[in-house]
Structure 1
Amino acid sequence: MFTRVQLFERIRADRRADPSVSQRELARRHQVSRRTVRAALASAVPPPRKPPVRGRPLALGPVLAVVDDMLRSDVVGPRKQRHTIERICQRLAVEHGFTDASYSTVRNYVARRRPEILAEAREGRGHLDGMVPQVHPPGEEAEVDFAEAFAVVGGTQMKCYLFTLRMSFSGKAVHRVFASQGQEAFMEGHVEAFRILGGVPTRHIRYDNLKPAVRQVLFGRGRIESQRWVVFRSHYGFHAFYCLPGKDGAHEKGGVEHEGGRFRRNHLVPPPQVASLAELNDRLAAIDAAEDARHVHGAPASIGFNFGAEAPLLHPLPADDFELGTTLTPLVRRNARIVVRQCYYSVPARFIDRKVRVSLRANEVLVFDGRQVVARHPRLSRRYDYRDDLDHYLEILLVKPGALAGSTALAQARHEGSFTSAHDAFWAAARAAHGEAEGTRALIEVLLLHRQLPHAALVAGITATVNAGSCSPELVAIEARKAADAGVAANPSDAVAPVDDGVEDGLDLAEPADEPVPAGARVISLHARRLPSGTEHKPPPMSVYDQLLSHRSKGTSA
């Protein structure tokens, strides 16, 4: 099967080989019409085929104007409420009693006619889709957006949100990672960026329609902003420029749209492994500082050089800090937990059935009793997730020691590494010596020591006690205090300090005679407690009571 070009080429080749051959013979030889032969001999390029002229569908003839009116109304109507083919058929049948045209006839006509009507509506307005390059004066404009990113935090991969504020003139950008893209993270990212920049843009900051700032999107650029966001903008003295919704407004802040993806590809691949989001943000701060030497799109000057000219033009920061945390007052439940944004956090058990003041921040949750912080947790972002601190349940566990083994707080402490193998060894020794309940209570007494002593020193004290063949909480306290005074580091295996005989901290120390002493270790027993000298309670003198008995009423003689 030859194409028309190849067919024309063969016809012309035969005529060149035999100039006397007739057109009739060439038509018979190539099985085409003589008109095709004439066209081939006239030009090597086949003439274009004429498109068939199709008339309007006869079935739709009576209602073509009605269908066109429906399509014209879609041009100015809401985008998500345009006529479908099914709806056009329904309206033709119900409103005009027209059922002669099939669904496919209406579909084919609308597919051809809708682009024509759209072109007619745009004709005369000179509308062209495109972008116009803009100039950004120094110090006046910035752009803000969130981008999703993943990081391995504490051994668990989690979705984070990369906040980016980028200056439009210099390209100077500040990046921070948050557990959510809520209002607290939104405002904390601004505060951190303003601190790094040393000021606030003088004209406006460009945004899309982020929920932390916008409660409702109106027509055009009209927005109903959240009240707290308005207060924040008023405090720092800048205006917000909201881009058009959807793809139509994406180019209005194309700098930060590109910056978020560029930064993620260059600095967050593979997903960074950190102990906390605070550590990750410290890394990002160092990267931001190093990127001052980068050139944007081949610009002759670096980002840092351009920002040096831009920084003096920024508005100065306000003298007072803005309170970023959202204040809540939840009730502490019977399980010593509070509910904050559908997540559960533990608090000390003494606050059960009381209301506490909570400051909900971007990456942490602070619980206050008056002005004192009584609990601090990293903020959770997944609904119904929980965070329990073992220390908050110790007073309950003293009464219910059997609940310790299966508690979520213990499981989390083991996962985080605060409940070490030394704790497990002490617990096993205490249960073997005193039974399940009393052995667990001995462990809880040791855990209570974490409130006064450093963790590394206490682990060293536990290790020294277990190595000495004892399970006494009092001995753990003494060894931990000695380790703390000696400045023991995080290696508890080398933290066994020499034990001196005598009295320390008001406790009687004596060598036991009835317990075997392992080789290389000395045992301290606290079998008797006594108060330090000079603090013993003395009975009051009886002469005071004799004076009361000898007291006489006024006016009587001796």
Structure 2
Amino acid sequence: HEMLFDAHARAFAAFGGVPRRGIYDNMKTAVDKVGQGKSRTVNARFEAMTGHYLFEPEFCNRAAGWEKGIVEKNVQDRRRGIWMEAAERRWPDLESLNAWLHQACLDAWHELPHPEWPELTIADVWQQEQTHLMPNPAPFDGYVEQMVRVTATSLIHYQRNRYSVPCEWAHTSVSVRAYPDRLVVVGPNSEPPEQPVSLPRSFERGQTLYDWRHYVSLLERKPGALRNGAPFKTMPEPLQHLQAHLLRHPGGDRVMAQVLMAITLHGLDDVLVAVELALQSGRVSADHVLNVLARLKEPQAVQSLPEAALPSLTLHEPPQADVSRYDSLRQSQEDDHVQ
């Protein structure tokens, strides 16, 4: 479902508006049950999406491919050509691939003839139809929700992968909202409400994806978890250097735990800067890191003065040393001693 919802949002953004009618096959992501004739039991989430965009879905008859004309065949052929070209390229990430595919589809509009008016391209007809499209609202919040149980090691299972969540949620039930690129985990009911956690989604199998920050609060009770804890192997490089240095000494795990717990108060970026400065100075300890962090956070103590104020601070008469006060103090002490 989440892929279907995302496809609609991207399509309407590319069209520059929402059509008043959409024609669909009887796909399971849209139709729960096919009845007699045009009778359909529409999926609740699909119906919520059509209600959000305010367009009317229309479903084809079963085994009636001719109802879509040659649109489906044109899309199939062009899609095959685009993927063949994409297979010859290399992409640094999924976002780059999607951007290229988006442009390839737009280019196809200017090349493909319209199935009903072959003298016009898809782009030509689209220009005429744009004025008839309905306004495009904010994208439909197209997630699929599922309740899962958090394990004793603060992991949830979702589609053959495991993801970490805050360790405070262990042994509770949480809600997983699946989007095409991420999972949003809503914690157990509590006062005040817990902040939802967003996790990058993986489509591999058998992976365990940790976020080391989910386990920081555990270190207050179990600092030894740092020594063999798989989640902490994904920490940023400065923290890994600090950990390697500290764990060579007795009590280093507790010192490292102190540094990591400072993140909840000061934020990750500031703590990383303090750790890097401490490593450069060669004085690696929790006290030194926290001291550097305090100096980074405190406001500048001395402000520069305007030049106009400087003459009033000029010393015109140097101070004279007056030691008579010490003589009187000594005399007073001698008198007390005699008494």
Per the alignment, residue 47 of structure 2 pairs with: 230
Per the alignment, residue 28 of structure 2 pairs with: 211
Q: Are residues 1:259 and 2:78 paired?
A: yes
Normalising to structure 2: TM-score of the pair? 0.69
Call closer, same or farther: CA 1:419–1:194 in 2, change over 3 Å.
same
204, 224, 247: which one aligns with 1:402: 224
- Higher-Rg member (1/2): 1
CA distance in 2, matches of 1:269, 1:222: 45
CA distance in 1, matches of 2:168, 2:270: 27
User: Over residues 344-372 of structure 1, what are the superposed CA-to-partner deviations in whole Å (9 max), with x where a residue is unaligned?
Assistant: 32211112233333322222111234665
1:427 deviation in Å?
Answer: 1.5
Normalising to structure 1: TM-score of the pair? 0.45
Unmatched segments (≥5 aa) in structure 2: 303-339
Per the alignment, residue 282 of structure 2 pairs with: 469
Per the alignment, residue 355 of structure 1 pairs with: 173
Per the alignment, residue 311 of structure 2 pairs with: none
Per the alignment, residue 331 of structure 1 pairs with: 149
**Which amino acid is 1:196 matched to?**
A
Per the alignment, residue 439 of structure 1 pairs with: 252
**Higher helix proportion, which one?**
2
Per the alignment, residue 239 of structure 2 pairs with: 423
CA distance in 2, matches of 1:473, 1:401: 14
**Which amino acid is 1:295 matched to?**
E
User: Over residues 66-87 of structure 1, what are the superposed CA-to-partner deviations in whole Å (9 max), with x where a residue is unaligned?
Assistant: xxxxxxxxxxxxxxxxxxxxxx
**SS in structure 1 opposite 2:148?**
coil
User: Over residues 361-404 of structure 1, what are the superposed CA-to-partner deviations in whole Å (9 max), with x where a residue is unaligned?
Assistant: 22211123466534211223345533221111122234333333
**Which amino acid is 2:254 matched to?**
R
User: Over residues 474-512 of structure 1, what are the superposed CA-to-partner deviations in whole Å (9 max), with x where a residue is unaligned?
Assistant: 4324545767899xxxxxxxxxxxxx9x99xxxxxxxxx
**SS in structure 1 opposite 2:83?**
helix
TM alignment of 1:407-556, pairs within 5 A: 407-411=229-233, 413=234, 418-420=235-237, 422-432=238-248, 434-435=249-250, 438-451=251-264, 455=268, 457-479=270-292
**Which amino acid is 1:273 matched to?**
P
Q: Are residues 1:193 and 2:11 paired?
A: yes
Per the alignment, residue 184 of structure 2 pairs with: 366
TM alignment of 1:112-151, pairs within 5 A: none
Call closer, same or farther: CA 1:262–1:447 in 2, change over 3 Å.
farther
User: Over residues 225-281 of structure 1, what are the superposed CA-to-partner deviations in whole Å (9 max), with x where a residue is unaligned?
Assistant: 43322332344322233475599999661132223223323345324221xx45654
1:460 deviation in Å?
Answer: 3.4
**Which amino acid is 1:228 matched to?**
R
**SS in structure 1 opposite 2:149?**
coil
Per the alignment, residue 346 of structure 1 pairs with: 164
Call closer, same or farther: CA 1:377–1:469 in 2, change over 3 Å.
same
TM alignment of 1:64-83, pairs within 5 A: none
**SS in structure 1 opposite 2:282?**
coil
TM alignment of 1:261-340, pairs within 5 A: 261-267=80-86, 269-274=88-93, 277-278=94-95, 280-282=97-99, 284-285=101-102, 291=107, 294-297=110-113, 303-317=122-136, 322-340=140-158
CA distance in 2, matches of 1:252, 1:243: 16
CA distance in 2, matches of 1:484, 1:278: 36
**Which amino acid is 1:229 matched to?**
F
**Which amino acid is 1:328 matched to?**
Q
CA distance in 2, matches of 1:336, 1:468: 37
CA distance in 2, matches of 1:198, 1:408: 47
**SS in structure 2 opposite 1:441?**
helix
User: Over residues 287-306 of structure 1, what are the superposed CA-to-partner deviations in whole Å (9 max), with x where a residue is unaligned?
Assistant: 556x3883225976665443
Call closer, same or farther: CA 1:242–1:269 in 2, change over 3 Å.
farther
1:320 deviation in Å?
Answer: 7.0
Unmatched segments (≥5 aa) in structure 1: 1-182, 487-499, 504-558
Paired residues of 1:347 and 1:374 also in contact (CA < 8 A): no
CA distance in 2, matches of 1:224, 1:269: 43
CA RMSD of aligned residues (A): 3.9
Paired residues of 1:327 and 1:360 also in contact (CA < 8 A): yes
CA distance in 2, matches of 1:192, 1:409: 35
Residue identity (%):
21
* Larger RCO, structures 1/2 (Cα 8 Å, 6+ apart): 2
Q: How many residues align?
A: 293
**SS in structure 1 opposite 2:185?**
strand
User: Over residues 495-540 of structure 1, what are the superposed CA-to-partner deviations in whole Å (9 max), with x where a residue is unaligned?
Assistant: xxxxx9x99xxxxxxxxxxxxxxxxxxxxxxxxxxxxxxxxxxxxx
CA distance in 2, matches of 1:454, 1:386: 26
CA distance in 1, matches of 2:229, 2:105: 43
**SS in structure 2 opposite 1:185?**
helix
Paired residues of 1:364 and 1:378 also in contact (CA < 8 A): yes
CA distance in 1, matches of 2:28, 2:291: 55
Call closer, same or farther: CA 1:445–1:270 in 2, change over 3 Å.
farther
CA distance in 1, matches of 2:205, 2:29: 18
CA distance in 2, matches of 1:460, 1:288: 45
Call closer, same or farther: CA 1:269–1:222 in 2, change over 3 Å.
farther
CA distance in 1, matches of 2:77, 2:120: 20
Per the alignment, residue 309 of structure 2 pairs with: none
Call closer, same or farther: CA 1:245–1:300 in 2, change over 3 Å.
closer
CA distance in 2, matches of 1:476, 1:281: 43
**Which amino acid is 1:428 matched to?**
A
Paired residues of 1:217 and 1:223 also in contact (CA < 8 A): yes
